[in-house]
């Protein structure tokens, strides 16, 4: 089935569904929706629409389905896999104006939100009620709940609290033909038939458009302490992590930054950071409701760190100190964009004890491409972010980049890992999916896609080869 272009009559039909000011065809504005945070991918949409209700989304999808026009759902555009790039042109369906927190139900520890709610703003509102939503992408100041659900976002706290799918209990969606469906609700248990919610969470906008989400929330911890611990090597830092977990301590987060990445942030910030000469910096976050217990945990954590060769242990208990400890990690993406010429942004995962081997092998491997690898991420759950930059600020050709990426994934898979932990497949990793997923599994995914979207109009060209019907 061939996709059709967005014609002048289609634009007029969209303006009858939405206020004309929310139907955008201006090329300068369209440019903002032609890319996400992934380097190298860029496609201009033919029109951007900004609905404010489920009914408007439904009518847009009904129109697109009738005329076989591709639709790319989009929230904050912070995807790191090309998932929000409108590969086939068509309509970008921006959910940014559907930004209401519809309900915070303190009695049942639930909240109902629209997809355009910014994650950080949601957290601030929950804090007023003594609650929190654990998934915490580092881009929380700009990413949105709908995108978090579509990508099954994780973040630093995933090792203790899990990822987005662990909290979504209800969902309202619009299917490709405009049909509105609701699944689940304010229920902690529900095994009535297949789990459609879990299927949609992480489906990257290829199965349905998310218009409302019901999530469970938790009591906000009364005490949070952050520790900054520099080590000379990733091997020492990894051994420290394993020993902490063996002690029965459950940190909310164990993050790491390799020395090159840490020093890059130092350059970006323009000031000296603690122990900038170290090979690896670890951030441990501990939380709970009993102050004395948290104190005992960070004392024990510090003792383990020093036994494993830590150069020092910095403790942050005040808000100001915690912000300073987390600053380098939070500024990592900004520093990489400002100070390097990125050619790939990888999201890899291996068993925790294999991280040192993975980083060592990758750093050595990219040198043959005259590139540098900056490693950081979630040491506590085996998920590393590996940003690769050209040393001479000149991009290799696309074929060379693809070859390098394939070799990186092969190294990762050989260590028992896989090619993406939380960024998704999107557009960026389609060509490498078969390295990690069998052909039978890919065919099953295609049949599921077909069941939801027979004309293949929802976010076409994403996740797997042949992800659309053209």
Q: Which of 332, 363, 385 is the last residue of a domain?
A: 332
Question: In this structure, are 234 and 192 located in the same domain?
Answer: no
183 domain-assigned: yes
Q: How far apart are the first and last CA of the chain?
A: 5
User: How distant, in Å, are the alpha carbons of 26, 94, 297, 322, 456 from that of 30?
Assistant: 6, 11, 51, 39, 23
Q: Count CB-CB contacts under 10 A for residue 289.
A: 11
18 domain-assigned: no
Question: In this structure, are 299 and 264 located in the same domain?
Answer: yes
pLDDT value at position 470? Answer: 45
Question: In this structure, are 110 and 214 located in the same domain?
Answer: yes
Question: Mean pLDDT per segment of 10 residues, for the chain of length 470 residues?
Answer: 94 98 97 89 96 98 98 95 95 98 98 97 97 92 96 92 96 98 93 93 97 98 97 96 94 96 97 96 97 95 97 96 96 92 91 95 94 94 93 82 95 96 91 93 95 97 70
pLDDT value at position 393? Answer: 65
Q: Within 13 Å, how many C-alpha atoms sit on residue 134's CB side?
A: 24
173 domain-assigned: yes
Question: In this structure, are 277 and 375 located in the same domain?
Answer: no
Cβ atoms of residues 34 and 92 within 8 Å: no
**390-393, Cβ contacts within 8 angstroms, sequence gap of 24 or more:** 390/341, 390/343, 393/340, 393/341
Question: In this structure, are 204 and 250 located in the same domain?
Answer: no
Q: Which of 203, 219, 235 is the last residue of a domain?
A: 219
Cβ atoms of residues 243 and 122 within 8 Å: no
Question: In this structure, are 276 and 321 located in the same domain?
Answer: yes
Question: In this structure, are 214 and 109 located in the same domain?
Answer: yes
CATH, residue 208: 3.30.465.10
CATH, residue 346: 3.30.70.2740
């129109």: which residue's tokens?
Answer: 63
CATH, residue 300: 3.30.70.2190
Instruction: Indicate the number of domains in the chain.
Output: 3
Q: Count CB-CB contacts under 10 A for residue 320.
A: 9
Ranges of H-type helices in 165-318? 196-200, 234-246, 259-269, 291-307
96 domain-assigned: no
443 domain-assigned: no
Where in the sequence is the domain holding 306, given as residue range(s)? 223-332
Question: In this structure, are 232 and 307 located in the same domain?
Answer: yes
**The dihedral sign for the CA sequence 413, 416, 421, 425:** positive
Question: In this structure, are 257 and 291 located in the same domain?
Answer: yes
Question: In this structure, are 293 and 364 located in the same domain?
Answer: no
pLDDT value at position 394? Answer: 73
Q: Which of 332, 359, 384 is the last residue of a domain?
A: 332
440 domain-assigned: no
271 domain-assigned: yes
Question: In this structure, are 346 and 380 located in the same domain?
Answer: yes
402 domain-assigned: yes
Q: Which tokens belong to 307?
A: 């036994």
Question: In this structure, are 185 and 279 located in the same domain?
Answer: no
């Amino acid at each position: 089935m061939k996709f059709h272009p967005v014609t002048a009559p289609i634009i007029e039909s969209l303006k009858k569904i939405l206020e004309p000011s929310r139907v955008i065809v201006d090329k300068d504005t369209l440019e903002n929706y032609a890319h996400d945070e992934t380097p190298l991918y860029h496609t201009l949409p033919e029109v951007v629409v900004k609905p404010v209700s489920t009914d408007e989304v439904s009518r847009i999808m009904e129109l697109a389905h009738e005329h076989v026009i591709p639709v790319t759902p989009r929230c904050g555009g912070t995807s790191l896999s090309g998932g929000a790039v409108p590969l086939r042109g068509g309509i970008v369906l921006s959910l940014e104006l559907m930004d209401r927190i519809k309900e915070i139900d303190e009695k049942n520890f639930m909240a109902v939100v629209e997809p355009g709610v910014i994650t950080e703003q949601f957290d601030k509102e929950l804090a007023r009620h003594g609650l929190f939503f654990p998934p915490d992408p580092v881009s929380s100041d700009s990413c949105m709940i709908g995108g978090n659900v579509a990508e099954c976002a994780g973040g630093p706290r995933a090792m203790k609290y899990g990822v987005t799918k662990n909290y979504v209990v209800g969902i309202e969606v619009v299917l490709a033909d405009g049909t509105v469906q609701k699944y689940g609700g304010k229920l902690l248990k529900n095994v009535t038939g297949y789990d459609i919610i879990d299927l949609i969470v992480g489906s990257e906008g290829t199965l349905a458009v998310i218009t409302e989400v019901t999530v469970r929330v938790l009591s906000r911890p009364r005490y949070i302490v952050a520790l900054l611990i520099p080590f000379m090597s990733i091997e020492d830092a990894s051994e420290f992590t394993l020993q902490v977990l063996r002690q029965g301590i459950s940190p909310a987060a164990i993050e790491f930054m390799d020395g090159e990445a840490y020093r890059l942030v130092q350059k970006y910030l323009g000031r000296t950071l603690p122990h900038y000469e170290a090979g690896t910096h670890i951030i441990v976050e501990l939380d709970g409701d009993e102050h004395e217990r948290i104190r005992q945990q960070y004392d024990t954590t510090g003792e383990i760190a020093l036994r494993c060769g830590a150069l020092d242990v910095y403790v942050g208990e005040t808000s100001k100190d915690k912000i300073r400890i987390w600053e380098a990690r939070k500024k990592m993406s900004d520093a990489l964009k400002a100070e390097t010429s990125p050619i790939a942004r990888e999201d890899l995962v291996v068993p925790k004890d294999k991280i040192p081997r993975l980083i060592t092998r990758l750093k050595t491997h990219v040198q043959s491409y005259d590139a540098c690898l900056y490693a950081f991420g979630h040491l506590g759950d085996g998920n590393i972010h590996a940003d690769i930059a050209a040393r001479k600020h000149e991009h290799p050709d696309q074929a060379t980049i693809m070859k390098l990426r394939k070799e990186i994934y092969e190294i990762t898979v050989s260590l028992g890992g896989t090619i993406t932990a939380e960024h998704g497949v999107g557009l960026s990793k389609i060509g490498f999916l078969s390295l990690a997923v069998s052909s039978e599994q890919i065919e099953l995914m295609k049949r599921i896609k077909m069941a939801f979207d027979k004309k293949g109009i929802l976010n076409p060209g994403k996740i797997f080869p042949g992800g659309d019907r053209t």
